[in-house]
């Protein structure tokens, strides 16, 4: 099976897509797993030309986060993409995306970007939105595909596309999970056997929360917390229920669609997950 063509420059990417109207983009930072590949497969359903970007974006890493620790596995990624209908992999070096060492103008995510993951990682979402805006401007896809697992990121990308009238459709693929329920993530490779077993408490907590949705918000939170309390290796960062239309926390009287979000440190690895529910 042939690998996608690798393009490392903005000019080269634009030249390759000149005159091509039917394009879907899957933005990634590499270290591809089956969750990413589900996005790729969806992109291939949506458009005749699929572009996967592989770029470890320095703008979304904070001062206390190790940019150099993020796995870079381009050769393995290209092998994983072989035969999946991907025409191009856009894999620019940092100085191609940020030739001046950064950007004077950045996209900001507003109040939502400063909460939850944004509170734990200040500036993270501004970095994400800025690089996604750049990728959309370079590739100009009709569709861009994201996973539901990074729910806050997805919400902010959807808002950016809507608010800035960007001519692309944001398509969403539900969270891909391992057979035992753990949401697939590039960070899972950092879990040892004990931490991986403990990490299953996150998906179990979400299941417990969803099963309690008919009893109100307090029951939802209590059900999730009761699961997490049994795992000493799991250190909860936040457990919140938000309105998916605004990403604001719901109040005690809220009824309707909601999403429960969880972030926790399991051993030395920070994981996030989420699940939809309907409060009645």
Contact assessment for residue 14 and residue 138, using Cβ atoms and an 8 Å cutoff: yes
Residue 70 has pLDDT above 90, yes or no: no
| Intervals of CATH 3.30.1300.10 along the chain | 186-274
Residue 69 has pLDDT above 90, yes or no: no
Confidence of residue 2 (pLDDT cuts 50, 70, 90): confident
Could you tell me which of 196, 202, 210, 267 has the C-alpha nearest to residue 241? 210
Tens of pLDDT, residue by residue over 239-280, are 999 999 999 999 999 999 999 999 999 999 999 999 999 998
Contact assessment for residue 202 and residue 269, using Cβ atoms and an 8 Å cutoff: no
What is the per-residue pLDDT for 68?
A: 81
Contacts of 18 (CB under 8 A, 6+ apart): none
User: What CATH code would you report for 186-274?
Assistant: 3.30.1300.10
Question: Would you call 124 a catalytic residue per the annotation?
Answer: no
d(CA 241, CA 276): 9
> Domain 5-173, what architecture?
3-Layer(aba) Sandwich (3.40)
- Whole-structure pTM value: 0.95
Tens of pLDDT, residue by residue over 5-34, are 999 999 999 999 999 999 999 999 999 999
| Intervals of CATH 3.40.50.620 along the chain | 5-173
Q: Which of 36, 124, 143, 162 is catalytic?
A: 36
């Amino acid at each position: 099976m042939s690998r996608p063509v690798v393009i490392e420059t903005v000019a080269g990417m634009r030249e390759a897509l000149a005159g091509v109207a039917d394009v879907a983009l899957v933005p990634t930072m590499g270290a591809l797993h089956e969750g990413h590949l589900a996005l790729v497969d969806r992109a291939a359903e949506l458009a005749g030309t699929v572009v996967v970007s592989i770029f470890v974006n320095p703008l979304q890493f904070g001062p206390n986060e190790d940019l150099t620790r993020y796995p870079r596995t381009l050769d393995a990624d290209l092998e994983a993409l072989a035969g999946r209908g991907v025409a191009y992999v856009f894999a620019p070096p940092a100085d191609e995306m940020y030739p001046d060492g950064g950007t004077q103008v950045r996209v900001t995510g507003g109040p939502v970007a400063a909460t939850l993951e944004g509170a734990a990682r200040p500036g993270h979402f501004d970095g994400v939105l800025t690089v996604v805006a750049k990728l959309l401007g370079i590739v100009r896809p009709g569709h861009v595909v994201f996973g539901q697992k990074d729910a806050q990121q997805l919400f902010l990308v959807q808002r950016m596309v809507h608010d800035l009238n960007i001519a692309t459709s944001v398509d969403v693929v539900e969270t891909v999970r391992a057979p035992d329920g753990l949401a697939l993530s590039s960070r899972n490779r950092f879990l040892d056997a004990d931490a991986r077993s403990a990490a299953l408490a996150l998906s179990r907590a979400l299941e417990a929360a969803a099963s309690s949705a008919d009893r109100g918000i307090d029951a939802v939170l209590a059900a999730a917390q009761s699961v997490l309390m049994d795992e000493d290796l799991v250190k909860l960062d936040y457990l919140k229920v938000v309105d998916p239309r605004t990403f604001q926390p719901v109040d005690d009287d809220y009824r309707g669609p909601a999403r429960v979000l969880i972030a926790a440190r399991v051993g030395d690895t920070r994981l996030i997950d989420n699940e939809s529910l309907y409060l009645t």
